[in-house]
Structure formats: structure tokens, C-alpha cells
Chain A
């Protein structure tokens, strides 16, 4: 292959774009692994796998989407391989589950209706928020505030797009347990985003 040909097929490898993509990949991996070392390894492996392959891309966003698909597969493999170690002992049987429940119960009054302070307000223009890096920093922070076992199930479901049945099997929990955990994740994440982003914005 001629040198010119190789260059035409090369993805945008310049340092600035790689380091920006690497930063976003790390954020994605850390949300799911909560182990900085493992997240770094996973991102490094994904970058290396991508660099070995001589694919061409129409543009930077296609390239980035492809990189994220590689990273996602690496994380799924990692979770499947290590599910026997983490599994149910972390999730069920621990008092964490109930501790998490009480925390979100305070959102509701007796009788199960919203506390006036916690009642969901109107969010103005979430799509515009998605365009701001500051929003994703808040999102990251809110994910980190979730109890670890809750965040793990949520990211498996929403970021890795695993089916609930597979998550249950991997973690050795019942479907109902899984639903309850996902519900708590959504309650907690929503509350945090409203308090730390959307509320300040609309007032």
C-alpha cells in the first residue's frame, strides 16, 4: 500500500482529538467500573484495538461512535468475566439494599405523595443541556452519588444496554430486585439532576 493510500484511510489520530475522545471514554468507563485502574486499562485496550484496525471514517463523530462501541464491548466482556466474583454477595443479603430504600422514601410524604420540596418541576430544554460540558460533569457527579450497587445495575442497563434478564443472571438477583434497584437509580439520579442543574437554571 502506498503511503498516500494509508493516510487517506487513517482515522483522525492527532493528539488533540485523541485526548478529547480518551477523556470522554474514561468518563464512560469510570461510571461503570468505579475502579480507575480497570477503567484506564479498558480505555487503553479499546484505543489500541482501534489503532490496529485500518478502518476509514467519514468524520470524527463516526470514529468516536465506533470507539465507544469497542469500549462498550470490552466493558461487557469484563463484567461477564468478573460477575462470579462480584455477584450476589455484594447486592442481596447486604443491608445496602434497605439503606438505599429509606433514602428515597424521604422524597414522599406519608400516603405516598410527593413532598412539596421534592415534587418534580418543569425542566427547560434538556437538549440544550446535553450540549454543555458542565451538564455532563453534574451528571457524572450524580452517578457517583448513587450507592455503588445501584449505579452498577443502572449502568449495565442504560449504558451497556443489557437486558434485565441478563443483568439478573449475571448478578444473581431476581427480576423484581432488579426493577427495584433501577427504580431507585432513576429516582436518585433525577432528584440530583433537578437539584444541581435544572433548578438553578429555571430560577
Chain B
């Protein structure tokens, strides 16, 4: 199996919000992010984007509490 690069890893990290990744994809992603600090940060940042969207949706962004 060819080693995954960051470009592919970021694409899969986005797609896992949209579809179920295959076992092979999940494994390759896991191996890659374990070795790559940039991509493991990227995965965390996508969760932050999700949380930010939820705040916006619910009308509870800051600046008024």
C-alpha cells in the first residue's frame, strides 16, 4: 500500500464528515496522522470549524454574555 500524503489525508478528513470511510482508508489515515503533526492538527481544526458552525446556527456566538 502506497503511503498517504498530506493532500490525500486532508481530503479524507473532510470526507469523513460526509460518508463512512472504508476500513482501508481509515487505517491509512490513522497511520498518517500518527506520524504527521500538521495533519493531526488539521483534524482537530476541522472539529473546531464544526463547533463554530454550530454556534452560528444556534445564534450563540460570543460578545454578549
Q: Is the CB of A40 closer than 8 A to any CB of chain B?
A: no
Contact across chains for B49 and A133 when beta carbons are under 8 A apart: no
Within 8 A of A (CB), among B29-65: 37-39, 41-42, 44-46, 48-53, 55-65
Q: With A113-B6, A121-B41 known to touch, is A130 a contact of B58 (CB < 8 Å)? A: no
How many residues on chain B are close to A (CB under 8 Å)? 36
Query: How many residues of A are in contact with the other chain, CB < 8 A?
Result: 47
**Could you tell me the distance between the alpha carbons of A183 and B11 in the complex, rounded to whole angstroms?**
6
Given the complex, which residues of B lie within 8 Å of A122, measured CB to CB?
Answer: 41
Query: Are B18 and A31 touching (Cβ within 8 A)?
Result: no
Chain A positions within 8 Å of B, measured between CB atoms, are 20-21, 24-25, 28, 31, 61, 64-65, 67-68, 72, 108, 111-114, 119-123, 126-127, 130-136, 139, 158-159, 161, 164, 175, 178-179, 182-183, 186-187, 189-190, 193-194
Interface residues of chain B, those whose CB is within 8 Å of chain A, are 5-8, 10-11, 14-15, 17-19, 37-39, 41-42, 44-46, 48-53, 55-65
Q: Give 13 pairs: A residue, B residue, CB < 8 Å, sorted on A.
A: A72-B57, A108-B7, A123-B45, A126-B52, A130-B61, A131-B63, A134-B63, A158-B53, A179-B18, A183-B11, A183-B15, A190-B45, A194-B45
